[in-house]
Amino acid sequence: MVEDDLYRIGTVARLTGISVECLRAWERRYGLVPAERAGRTRYYSHAQLTRLTKIKALIDAGHPVSSLIELSERQLDSRSRPAPGTAAAIASPHRLPRVGLIGPSLVLLEQDAPDPSGVEIAQRWVAIEDFLDARERERSHLDAIVLQLPALNFADLDRACAAVPDCRWIVVYRFAERDAIKALAERGIVGFAWPVAWEELMRACALPSSNAVRAGRAAPRRYSDHELVTIASRARERGRDAPRDIVGLINDLNAFADFAGQRLLSDGDEAFDYEQAREAVSYARAQLERVLAAALESRTEPRSISN
């Protein structure tokens, strides 16, 4: 440590567990600049050290770094110590991504649609003002929000995103200029022109965004390792191949996700690639978990999916 509570980059790496290479990569990619420089030596403030410690803990808990870098201290603390009733507090291996709907057409569309298999519709607001006036607890537990706009305008979108900045957003619009559609894609937000099929909309809510920087958190696990072992063991006793094969695939995906998480902190230049891969793998695993759940609930199972 130097004067005024400044820490060399090597000290920060040792105290936080974030490698020097990763800190440099975050500086280039996310603008996480040190408090001071002396030649080629980087110095971080005590506040930055505290913030990086929180970010490292959340990364270890499964949050992608891109979803954390721009969060305020209050938002980081909220994720670290979730209040009762929030998504992090009640997350479990059996929880589906929770989705909120904003807009009269979306609310009506849901009424005539089959229940989505990949997500849970947790909240509904007829108007954007209803959403903005809602209690924070009603909004903070959502993983994704679908917003209906008569015309694609970023004033309303920015107001909505500001209320829940760490949530993944999907926009449905009736009218939009070409430049606005391009700008939406550059933000990493999925957009649909109305009318849109309910199934397509729900699939977008369940799958990761094409832009990992804006994609939000990875899909929660449905089954723990102990539960997967139990499922495979029981399937073997009963001579059922399908559950065992699916469990094997899920274990492989979980193993790669853990490996990618480790590389996030060690490979500065490739951290972004591994972050994208880990998030995509987590959603592929979520799809297999739903197949496994259906196989366990059905009386007749397919013979095997190993080929």
- pLDDT tens profile 180-239: 998 888 787 889 999 988 888 888 887 654 333 333 345 567 788 888 898 999 888 888
C-alpha–C-alpha distance, residues 100 and 142, integer Å:
7
Q: For residue 252, give the amino acid letter.
A: D
For the cut 80, the answer to whether the pLDDT of residue 144 exceeds it is: yes
Q: Which of 214, 240, 268 is the last residue of a domain?
A: 214
CA distance 98 to 94: 12
Same domain assignment for residues 207 and 240: no
Q: Are residues 234 and 209 in the same domain?
A: no
Q: Report how far residue 92's alpha carbon sits from residue 106's, in angstroms, rounded to the nearest whole number.
A: 28
Domain boundary among 169, 186, 214: 214
* Segment among 197-206, 236-245, 274-283 with least mean pLDDT: 274-283
Average pLDDT over residues 6-19: 87
The model's confidence at residue 102, banded by pLDDT at 50, 70 and 90, is very high
Q: Is residue 168 in some structural domain?
A: yes
Q: Which of 46, 62, 80 is the last residue of a domain?
A: 80
| Other CB atoms within 10 A of residue 177 CB | 11
Residue 220 lies in a domain: no
Q: Is the pLDDT of residue 94 over 60?
A: no
For residue 101, the tally of other CB atoms under 10 A from its CB is 25
What value does the mean pLDDT take over residues 112-118? 73
Residues 15 and 76 in one domain: yes
In a domain, 52, yes or no: yes
Q: For all residues of the chain together, what is the average pLDDT?
A: 79
Q: Which of 3-17, 80-94, 189-203 holds the top average pLDDT?
A: 189-203
The reply to whether 33 and 147 lie within a common domain is: no
Q: Angle 46-60/73-80 helices, nearest 10 degrees?
A: 40
Same domain, residue pair 266 and 243:
yes
144-151/168-175 β-pairing: parallel
Regarding whether 229 and 146 lie in a shared domain, the answer is: no
Q: Are 174 and 193 in contact (CB under 8 A)?
A: yes
- Output Rg (C-alpha) for the chain, integer angstroms: 21
Q: Is residue 114 part of a domain?
A: yes
Distance (Å) of CA 226 to CA 53, 89, 222, 285: 30, 21, 12, 16
In a shared domain, residues 240 and 183: no
Of 95, 119, 105, 118, nearest to 223 by C-alpha is 95
Tell the residue number behind the tokens 């972004």, with chain if given.
272
Q: How confident is the model at residue 4 (pLDDT cuts 50, 70, 90)?
A: low
Q: Examine the domain organization and report whether 147 and 250 are in the same domain.
A: no
Burial readout 295-305 (b: 16 or more C-beta within 10 A, e: otherwise) = beeeeebeeee
Number of separate domains in the chain: 3
Cβ–Cβ under 8 Å, residues 265 and 55: no
Q: Is 117 found in the same domain as 204? A: yes
- What percentage of residues in the chain have a pLDDT greater than 70? 79
> Given pLDDT bands bounded at 50, 70 and 90, which one contains residue 293?
confident
Is 305 contained in some domain?
A: no
205 domain residue, yes or no: yes
Question: What value does the mean pLDDT take over residues 89-118?
Answer: 75
Side-chain half-sphere of 258: how many Cα atoms within 13 Å? 8
Q: Specify whether the CB–CB gap between 152 and 180 falls below 8 A.
A: yes
Within a domain: 132: yes
Helix or strand (DSSP H, E) at 148:
strand 144-151
Q: Write out the two tokens for 236.
A: 């073997």
111 plus 179 within the same structural domain: yes
Residue-range definition of the domain harbouring residue 20: 6-80
Here the CATH number for the domain that contains residue 179 is 3.40.50.2300
- Predicted pLDDT at 214: 33
Q: Is residue 302 part of a domain?
A: no
